Amino acid sequence: MPQWPLNRDAAAARYPDERWEGTCSREIAAILVRYDHHTVWLQGRQALLLTYHWNAAPLADQAEPFRFTVSFTFARGHPPAPADIQAVVDGLGLRAI
Is 34 in a helix, a strand, or coil? Answer: helix
How far is Cα 31 from Cα 35, in angstroms, rounded to an integer? 8
Residues constituting the chain: 97
CA nearest neighbour of 70 among 44, 89, 85: 89
The model's pTM is 0.82
Confidence of residue 11 (pLDDT cuts 50, 70, 90): low
pLDDT tens string 27-78: 999 999 999 999 999 999 999 999 999 999 999 999 999 999 999 998 789 9
Q: Say how far residue 47 (Cα) sits from the centre of its chain.
A: 8
Listed in sequence order, the residues at least 6 apart from 85 whose beta carbon sits closer than 8 Å to its beta carbon are 31, 32, 35, 38, 40
Q: pLDDT value at position 62? A: 96
Q: pLDDT value at position 16? A: 73
Q: How far is CA 43 from CA 3, 12, 54, 60, 89, in A?
A: 40, 24, 25, 32, 11
pLDDT tens string 87-97: 999 999 899 99
Give the other-Cβ count within 10 Å of 64's Cβ.
12
Q: pLDDT value at position 42? A: 95
